Amino acid sequence: MTRDPEDDEAVPIILFQADHRFDLDRAALQKILLKDEIKDRHVVVLSVAGAFRKGKSFILDFFLRYMYCAYGDQTSSTSPSAAQWMGPTDKPLEGFSWRGGSERDTAGILVWSKVFLSRLKSGEEVAILILDTQGTFDSESTMRDSATVFALSTMISSIQVYNLSQNIQEDDLQHLQLFTEYGRIATEQAGTTPFQRLVFLVRDWSYPYEADYGEKGGQKILQKRLRVIANQHPELQSIRRHIKSCFSDISCFLMPHPGLKVATNPRFDGRLADIEDDFKTQLHRLAGMLLSPENLIVKEIGGQKVKAKDLLQYFDTYLAVYSGDELPEPKTLLAATAEANHLAALAAAKDCYSSTMEDFCGGSKPFVNPSLLDAEHLRAKVEAIKEFQGKRKMGSEYLSETYQVQLETELEEMLQQFKRFNSSKNFFKSATTPALFFGMSIVCYVLSSLFGLIGLYPIANFFNLAMILCLLTLATWTYIKYSGEMPELGENIDAMSISLLDGAFKPIFQAALSQLPRQLTQIN
């Protein structure tokens, strides 16, 4: 396992405030998601949520060991053995903060600063984020606080681990229904399953005679708990149907107790030597079931794969919805998701346009004829609109049309930026000002000399003054272009030179050229 503790740490991104509000640390999240090697990759997001003091951070730190071994140094497509990733038996457990006792240790939502890279069977390289969440139903949190944390982590994650103690109780299912109520509305109105994989992780399973440890035993228990039968109360049936409708995949894993040394030693620091073998065996199976390359699930919203840079938009949107004093209505969440979904599609379309135009007239390209630039813009605009329309989006046709209009407006604004940049690369245009004022100073010098020779000194002095003004203007323009200071004055000088050229010199040149054929005819 490779790791640099100075660089890798748990970063709070959803901050729990004293007034029971949650704030997004956008700068911290941007630093993680917008790295060049990460931002354009599709993401896998694993989150662990559930009641407080049930070992969520403890199990996550073992997942981190697995991740560092499997994906720490390079993109990997293979799963490590238990001996490889679990490490030495006397090494303390590091990563997300955890401790024994009865008081809450994690607040808000934290993300591990290192984003791991893995290669799927398809050959695509994806980015993997690991989230830790504040435990629900502690003595410092309200029902709204618990619902907010659980709902946010579920909406953001592609693999949600629901951490439970000893069994799947009816109140666990009721809480899950409350936290995922948004899913029912989204399923009905968007025609898609809102959430992806849900894993019930039952800790300290005490009934191995009823169901074996691991996934097979977990599925046996899960089928019993989620079964809908004729004589059930309608409310119980509704809860089960709701949960099944909200997730595209639901599974369960039964974990044994880690041992008395873990439970009774106040100085326990996560060393494998103090943990029972049964727990370590099942831990290896659990890590592979969730995190091996063949089991990774890319985050999707509305049937559309999400890139790391798009995830930032969803964090923004969801937290804004949950910023009120009351839990949001499911329809509000659906509208927020649809908005974020369209914004992500709009950003992808703009990236498509920008990439095409950069290849055509970007920084390393020479000056392009403006008519050719306009033609390329139209082609790139059509491709960008196709990109936008091709993305699966939630919400009404009217919403899509609104964002398409916004896209077309922003593409026109981007065109103006490309035009200005392209124009700045026109050598002859940039040379207009110095050539004009230098030429005018030469003409003024010659005229001053001629008028001085014939004794018309007032006129000669006038041209001398004009020559000095031209040279001073040229020197000022040169200094501005060299230093970058007073850009507005430089633009005014450029504008004045263009006005002189278009208003005075061009008509003179055109008149002279129009007389040239007549003069040639007379000479002949």
* Greater pLDDT, 256 or 434: 256
Q: Using CA atoms, how far apart are residues 89 and 4, in angstroms rounded to an integer?
A: 20
Which residue(s) pair with 1 in the sheet?
none
pLDDT at position 183 over 60:
no
User: In the Cβ-directed half-sphere of 173, how many Cα atoms lie within 13 Å?
Assistant: 20
What is the β-pairing status of strands 43-50 and 109-112? unpaired
What is the phi/psi pair of residue 519, to 5°? Answer: -65, -40
Residue 134 has pLDDT above 70, yes or no: yes
CA distances from 407 to 311, 348, 354, 358 (A): 20, 10, 12, 18
What span, in angstroms and rounded, lies between the C-alpha atoms of 200 and 223? 12
Q: Is the pLDDT of residue 492 over 50?
A: yes
- DSSP conformational letter for 73: S
If pLDDT is split at 50, 70 and 90, which confidence band does 215 have? very high
Q: How confident is the model at residue 190 (pLDDT cuts 50, 70, 90)?
A: very low
Higher confidence at residue 392 or residue 68? 68
Band of the pLDDT at 253, cuts 50, 70, 90? very high
- Residues forming beta bridges with residue 247, ordered by sequence position: 195
Question: Quick check: helix, strand or coil at residue 65?
Answer: helix
Name residue, tokens 């103090």.
274
What tokens does 278 get?
Answer: 């049964």
Fold of the CATH domain 10-325 = Rossmann fold (3.40.50)
Q: How many CA atoms lie within 13 A of 251 on its CB side?
A: 17
Residues 73-79: what's their mean pLDDT? 63
The pLDDT-based confidence of 102 (bands split at 50, 70, 90) is: very low
Q: Are the CB atoms for 136 and 149 separated by under 8 Å? A: yes
Q: How far apart are CA 279 and CA 219, in angstroms?
A: 18
Arithmetic mean of pLDDT, 337-363: 85
DSSP state of 307: B
- Strand pairing category for 116-119 and 22-24: unpaired
Question: Could you report the per-residue pLDDT of 448-466, keeping only the tens digit for each?
Answer: 888 888 888 888 889 889 8
- pLDDT of 299 reads 92
| Residues 6 or more apart whose Cβ sits within 8 Å of residue 117 | 37, 41, 71, 74, 75, 76, 125, 126, 127, 128
Is 50 exceeded by the pLDDT of residue 187? no
**Contact (CB, 8 A) for 184 and 225:** no
pLDDT of residue 1: 43
d(CA 44, CA 299): 5
The amino acid present at 396, given as its one-letter code, is S
Cα 190 from Cα 186, distance rounded (Å): 5
CA distance 342 to 393: 6
Give the model's pLDDT for residue 101: 43
Q: Which residues pair with 118 in a beta bridge?
A: 76, 126
Res 63: pLDDT? 92
Q: Tokens at residue 80, please? A: 């490590």
| pLDDT at position 191 over 60 | no
Split at pLDDT 50, 70, 90, the class of 487 is confident
Rounded-to-integer distance, Cα 421 and Cα 297, Å: 42
Residue 227, SS3?
Answer: coil
Residue 383 has a pLDDT of 92
What pLDDT does residue 188 have?
46
Q: How far is residue 325's CA from residue 438's CA, in Å, rounded to a whole number?
A: 69
In this structure, are residues 137 and 51 in contact, taking their beta carbons and an 8 Å threshold? yes
105 or 313, higher pLDDT: 313
Lowest mean pLDDT among 89-103, 273-287, 451-465: 89-103
Average pLDDT, integer, range 479-501? 76
Query: Phi, psi (5° rounding) for residue 431?
Result: -90, -5
Q: Are 229 and 251 in contact (CB under 8 A)?
A: no
Separation of alpha carbons 91 and 434, rounded Å: 71
Q: What is the pLDDT of residues 291-349, one digit of tens each?
A: 999 999 999 887 788 999 988 888 887 777 766 666 555 555 566 677 777 888 888 89
If pLDDT is split at 50, 70 and 90, which confidence band does 382 have? Answer: very high
Q: Assess whether pLDDT exceeds 60 at residue 478.
A: yes
pTM to 2 decimal places: 0.69
Give dist(CA 100, CA 109) in Å, integer: 20
Quickly count: other Cβ atoms within 10 Å of residue 430's Cβ. 15
3-state secondary structure of 142: coil
- What was the pLDDT predicted at 427? 52
Q: Which of 307, 272, 249 is nearest to 58 (CA)?
A: 272
The two tokens of residue 227 are: 């079964």
The two structure tokens encoding residue 207:
């009934």
**DSSP character string of 483-520:** H---HHHHHHHHHHHHHHIIIIIHHHHHHHHHHHHHHH
What's the confidence (pLDDT) of residue 162?
92
Domain boundaries, the chain: 10-325, 345-427, 431-523
Q: How far apart are CA 496 and CA 477, in angstroms?
A: 12
Average pLDDT, the chain: 81
Binned at pLDDT 50, 70 and 90, residue 189 comes out as very low
CA distances from 335 to 193, 389, 392, 416 (A): 16, 19, 15, 33
Nearest of 95, 62, 92, 54 to residue 273 by alpha carbon: 92
Which amino acid type is present at position 276?
Answer: E
pLDDT of residue 20: 67
Highest mean pLDDT among 2-16, 120-134, 174-188, 258-272: 120-134
**Could you give the residue ranges of the DSSP H alpha helices within 292-329?**
308-321
pLDDT above 80 for 500: no
pLDDT in tens, 502-520: 666 666 666 665 665 555 5
Topology of 345-427 in CATH?
Methane Monooxygenase Hydroxylase; Chain G, domain 1 (1.20.58)
